[in-house]
Amino acid sequence: YNVDITFTHSDSKSKQFAKMTLSSESRSDMDKALEYLNGELTQMCLSENAPMTSIGVYKDFGYLGGELSNDDFHLLFGLKKTQTNSTDCSENLQESTFAKSFEEANRCSIWVQAEEDMGRVSQNRVINEASPYKPRKIFFGVAPSRVSILWAYIQNRIVDLRRGAEFLNLGADRIYQPTLLEPIKKNGR
């Protein structure tokens, strides 16, 4: 494939994740390279018994979907802006009903770097310190061919939330879902 691969520094104080950048002049070359890379990385994770989520995707492994403003991030996931002292470099999205249902419905994982981990350390000095105005990068643990579809869904959801749409939490048992999915009876029968 005609693709350039570059390993670059990660903007992470904890250095708990790596960043690989691919670039190509041809979209088809990029798509083929991403699928090949995904296969190779999946085999490596399998051979090393990498941890998986409850829905069967590798934990803390994903492809960049896009960036959200910090305000849009909190609007979408419904998380309170709190400071944590966790050694984990990712946001805890388990408190977000949207994140949980999105992951289950799409059989994927969502990974967002924790705000406290944003920034870069060089020679024991912090540079590129995190700020509330810095965009939040959203990664999806899914086959690369599905990333753009999931990212479009996220963007549309944010547009709906900004317009004032409210979404109901169906709960863990989803008892109301069959009723909500039934066709509307127009003639009152």
Model confidence over 65-83: pLDDT tens digits?
A: 999 998 999 899 987 655 5
- pLDDT beneath 50: ranges in the chain: 85-87
Q: What is the pLDDT of residue 172?
A: 64
Contact call for residues 65 and 85 (beta carbons, < 8 A): no
Q: What is the pLDDT of residue 152?
A: 96
Model confidence over 171-187: pLDDT tens digits?
A: 666 677 777 777 766 66
User: Two tokens at 35?
Assistant: 């699928």
Q: What is the pLDDT of residue 131?
A: 64
Task: Give the whole-angstrom CA distance, residue 81 versus residue 101.
Answer: 21
Q: What is the pLDDT of residue 85?
A: 45
SS3 of the chain: helix, strand, coil, percent, to 5:
35, 20, 45
Residue 116, helix vs strand vs coil: helix
